[in-house]
Amino acid sequence: MSVLPNISNNDNVNFEIILHSTGTDPDHQRLDRILALKKLPWSFNLVEQHELANLPGGDEGQPVMQIGRCFFVGSFVSIIALEQLKATPTFFPNGNCGMPLALAWWSSEFFRVLRDNQDDGLFKKYCTIISRQIIDGRHFLQGSLPGLADIHSYAPLWALKKHGRDMTILECDALLAPWYQRMANIGECRPKKINLDENNLLGKQSLFETNFPECDAIADKETRRWKDQGKLFLWRSPLVN
């Protein structure tokens, strides 16, 4: 059971999710794995960095998740919103909510430091931190099911590989390599690619439910008018990813 309040009537929620992203940073992969774990269909609007800046909240350079007229900037607040919209499967399989959420900062620093540092010794230390969590034979960091802790640990490794990092250390780790592959294999829903810009962003989207109590607790909701397309609602992640 989710440790956050579920604001949907049931788990058969019908809503469209669009991820606006450049597709290369750890935050994009966090959201990709998050949506895969929730088994939610979604669309991917691939944009260049300068195009992202033209979208609501995109000026911070983070991916933006759109649900109807609601926009969530960065993975942190998007995670909170999705857990409330669809409680199962949960991001917190052993009931521990605090530690996985706190890993957001560690995950971001992991990527930032190692992106600019080719020191294999440092990379191995980071990999060892993760592999030690599954040394008892568990498949995922919080037990038999994947959760947010796994996603935060997986995303920077994926991004480093995307940026050309030599992954031999990871591939030779008898614990980490199978875990990494299990994370890569999560989810059957792959995104459909669409093309949107700021001039056709909202289209005929209905005014989606905007009561996200946990999001409101960590980020102020902004209400905006967007060009001639009407109102939208925006939450920004409190962490820089």
The better pLDDT of the pair 187, 142 is held by 142
Percent of the chain with pLDDT over 90: 22
Residue 211 has pLDDT above 60, yes or no: yes
Domain check: are 75 and 133 in the same one? no
User: What is the token pair recorded at 94?
Assistant: 């052993």
Residue 165 has pLDDT above 60, yes or no: yes
Q: What are phi and psi of 59, to 5 degrees?
A: -65, -15
Domain check: are 177 and 107 in the same one? yes
Residue 239 has pLDDT above 70, yes or no: no
- What pLDDT score does 5 carry? 47
Domain check: are 79 and 115 in the same one? no
How many domains does the chain fold into? 2
Instruction: Give tens-digit pLDDT for 27-57.
Output: 888 888 898 898 888 888 888 888 888 888 8
Domain check: are 165 and 104 in the same one? yes
* CB distance 194 to 44 below 8 Å: yes
Burial track 178-196 (b if 16+ CB lie within 10 A, e otherwise)? ebbeebeebbeeebeeeeb
Question: What's the pLDDT band for 188 if we cut at 50, 70, 90?
Answer: low
Residue 169 has pLDDT above 60, yes or no: yes
Domain check: are 22 and 71 in the same one? yes
Question: What's the pLDDT band for 91 if we cut at 50, 70, 90?
Answer: very high
Print the domain residue range for 25: 17-89+188-236
Domain check: are 177 and 102 in the same one? yes
- What pLDDT score does 205 carry? 61
Preceding amide of 213 cis, omega within 30: no
Which positions ≥6 away from 113 have C-beta within 8 Å?
A: 122
Domain check: are 21 and 132 in the same one? no
Q: What are phi and psi of 215, to 5 degrees?
A: -65, -40
Domain check: are 26 and 136 in the same one? no
DSSP assignment string, 41-67: --EEEE--HHHHTTSTTGGGSS-EEEE
- What pLDDT score does 10 carry? 42
Question: What's the pLDDT band for 207 if we cut at 50, 70, 90?
Answer: low
CATH of the domain at 85: 3.40.30.110
| Mean pLDDT computed over 185-191 | 73
Q: Is residue 5, in this structure, part of any structural domain at all?
A: no
Q: Is residue 8, in this structure, part of any structural domain at all?
A: no
Q: Tell me the β-bridge partners of 45.
A: 20, 194
Domain check: are 167 and 107 in the same one? yes
Residue 14 has pLDDT above 80, yes or no: no
Percent of the chain with pLDDT over 70: 88
Considering the chain, what is the average pLDDT of its residues?
83
Domain check: are 160 and 111 in the same one? yes
Question: What's the pLDDT band for 231 if we cut at 50, 70, 90?
Answer: confident
- What pLDDT score does 75 carry? 87
Cα–Cα distances in angstroms (integers) from residue 14 to residues 68, 70, 85, 86, 234, in the given order: 11, 15, 10, 10, 20
- The pTM (predicted TM-score) of the whole model is 0.83
